[in-house]
Amino acid sequence: MTPFLVILTIAIYFIVLFGISYLSGRNADSEGFFVGNRKSSWYLVAIAMIGSSISGVTFVSVPGMVGASSFSYLQMVLGFVVGQFIIAFVLIPLFYKLNVVSIYEYLENRFGVSSYKTGAWFFFISKMLGASVRLFLVCITLQLLVFEPLNLPFALNAALTVLLVWLYTFKGGVKTLIWTDAFKTFCLVISVVLCIYYIASDLNLNFSSLVVIIKESSMSKMFFFDDINDKRYFFKQFLAGIFTMIATTGLDQDMMQRNLSCKNSRDSQKNMITSGISQFFIIALFLMLGVLLYTYASANGIALPESSDQLFPLIATAGYFPIIVGVLFIIGLISAAYAAAGSALTALTTSFTVDILHDRFKENEVQLTRTRKKVHVSMSIMMTLVIIVINALNNTSVIDAVYILASYTYGPILGMFAYGIFSKRQIHDRFIPLVAILAPILCYILQTNSAAWFNGYEFSYEILIFNALFTAIGFAICSKKVTANKTN
């Protein structure tokens, strides 16, 4: 694809997106920005959640990862589905009962200010790094297709990419995101289905032969029960999926902001279950696409790129197929990436305003709007800088990097909420920041030495579970008898 065609595709897409953003964000106040005035329809939120959970990382990395990991990722996705049910029936009723804007307000009610601030800061670090890694993947693809051919620097690429995200979220926040993410989900699903269709057609495969090719491929193996030391081992992946979903969705202001925009907890539960089950089938489509991409590359003598993340962009945009395939790839990529980035930027703005600038949240509407807009700009600038730094340091698969970050940064949040929900004891609030910092350090030591200490066993994403466990143990050590009534 030529740089001009890529730019034209993105421009047309964003004209539609800005139109939706304008119509849905008119007359939005701060409550509309933070929680969509709690008037969103559950089915619309469910559609929007799919687009948010399937980021640009999924769109590009998942098809490429089948070469090394086969369909083992679906083991983790099965855990995601179980995690969605736990969120729906444990966390959602709790948050609606407390009527919170930020879910980390629960920690203040349960433990105290130090716990509240610690949870908010860990979320801030987690979401800023995670969202930047996801958006970085879009930037390197655009660098390859547009900016390098035009001899433009990566820094300009990152700045323009984040600017687009800021433009369509600055006014309506969550109220806007529900509608724009629903549109992006539609574009995402259509693009991956049509890409499968065109690639299968070029390989002269009808539906039945397509199923046979995928079924008989060595890359379609899903379950791995043989070797506990294998990172693909079922129970590692499945348990990691459950706790990763609880931590990165149920305890993530970004994702829960949408759920809390539903009219009531029952509608929010419907949304959570529907989007969770749908996510499994859509990710399965990405993995099937990956088998087709490797099959096509083998049949046509195409040299595989050094990074599996580059496989889909290479084949989709290098002129092997009709130009529509490249256009669909660009639309799918930006739909997935900007859904995640837009929601992350909104959530970061909400959490920083509500949790970290706590006193400012009590301002009148005019002052609060002014503060919120300043924070929104600051978050955008910071995200741009983080993307530039990631580009300078990048040396790993992007999807792997996302889950490694999540394991270390969401673990303390998961431990804090788990202890608060399942224990009746109070804690010495001033010790909580220390516990939250020590837990990831202990996990790093454990993961670094696990092969030597445990007969070759290597931790994967399940290190998140131990991170949360260490945090909960630290809470227990710092606990005391309940001396006052606290919300539980």
The DSSP annotation for 156-223 comes to HHHHHHHHHHHHHHTTTTHHHHHHHHHHHHHHHHHHHHHHHHHHHHHTT--HHHHHHHHHHSGGG---
Tell whether the model's pLDDT for residue 363 goes beyond 50.
yes
pLDDT at site 60: 74
Tell whether the model's pLDDT for residue 36 goes beyond 50.
no
Q: Which two tokens stand for residue 97?
A: 């009962």
Mean pLDDT of 325-336: 77
Can you point out the beta strands (E) in 45-179? Answer: none
Q: Which two tokens stand for residue 46?
A: 């469910």
pLDDT at site 174: 52
Tell whether the model's pLDDT for residue 448 goes beyond 80.
yes
Q: How far is CA 344 from CA 235, 432, 463, in A?
A: 30, 26, 24
Alpha-carbon torsion 1, 48, 343, 249, what sign? negative
Query: What does the pLDDT look like over 111-148, one tens digit per residue?
Result: 888 888 888 888 888 888 877 877 887 788 788 888 88
Quote the CA–CA distance of 297 and 318 in Å, as a whole number: 12
pLDDT at site 486: 47
Confidence of residue 368 (pLDDT cuts 50, 70, 90): confident
pLDDT at site 202: 84
Number of other CB atoms surrounding residue 318 within 10 Å:
11
* Whether domain 3-391 has CATH 1.10.3720.10: no
Q: Report yes or no: 51 and 184 within 8 Å, Cβ to Cβ.
A: yes
Query: What does the pLDDT look like over 189-243, one tens digit per residue?
Result: 888 888 888 888 888 888 888 888 888 888 889 899 988 888 888 998 899 889 8
Whose CA is closest to 319, among 145, 438, 443, 95?
145
Show contacts of 205-214: CB within 8 Å, 24+ apart. 210/292, 213/291, 213/292, 213/295, 214/288, 214/291, 214/292
Q: Any idea what DSSP says for residue 240?
A: H
pLDDT at site 398: 56
Between 426 and 400, the higher pLDDT residue: 426
Phi, psi of 144, rounded to the nearest 5 degrees: -65, -40
Between 108 and 183, the higher pLDDT residue: 108
Alpha-carbon torsion 84, 260, 406, 467, what sign? negative
Virtual CA dihedral for 185, 187, 193, 199, nearest 10 degrees?
-140
Query: What does the pLDDT look like over 51-66, one tens digit per residue?
Result: 667 666 677 778 888 8
pLDDT at site 394: 59
